[in-house]
Structure 1
């Protein structure tokens, strides 16, 4: 327990004004503090990592994916992304540059998905191609957009030389 010790000083000139030196023993308070810290450290849980669910294909598909359903998103520099529908050599929808905002990439994915649904009657397939000049944050943002826009089929692939030349033409590489 805490104890309060006071030692009287020698009586000097004024006997009415006694000054006492106070000493408070805080050993028990320190013990209690360490017990509380230990208790909270041992009983708290650390934040659990959040992971995105990943579905891998079961086997090899004998049917090739039509270009009319494939949207390619190339991640460039300066928070820019280029997207097109089809193949880079002969795109169904021409390559355009956008950003990662709600009115940028998300709007492009939704518009392209509705175009594919109207023309083919099937769902869209997205291929994400990060360039050497892109940053990891943009890849995460693009994967978040896949989740937000409910795109079920998407893949991350290596960027092709034709895609790099398209990015350079649009000043996004």
Structure 2
């Protein structure tokens, strides 16, 4: 099984893509399947979030591109910027991850939040979209260069895939 543990800034060739929803791009230990059907293990430092377009490699030096999967989200828009800012405040007050776009917010689909936002006068549209929320004030929004693995690589740790039998 291919093990990915090092982020690189650029590559001349991409061997395959690792398409993951945001929930799995937050995991520090993950077993997944590449778009070519090959199984991979991903090891990152706790707190690392893989972003759309990140490049990962391992011992065999093949480069794998991370792709944000389309997933159920709500696109939140308002008639004016002040109303959108008010919605952002209320989402933040509930510690809700949000993607900030040009004139919109995007959140994971949640019926309770949808009702709250509609009550604030927002238009809430269901859509399948790549979810890339803000990293937060302490999330290290800028890139760091790593000279080695992102995390120690266990030799015999079993990597569980969501949905694997217990």
Band of TM-score, shorter chain: under 0.3
TM-score, with structure 2 as normaliser: 0.27
Structure number with the bigger relative contact order (C-alpha 8 A, sep ≥ 6) is 2
Task: Choose between structure 1 and 2: higher helix proportion.
Answer: 1
Answer with 1 or 2: which has the greater Rg.
1
TM-score, with structure 1 as normaliser: 0.26
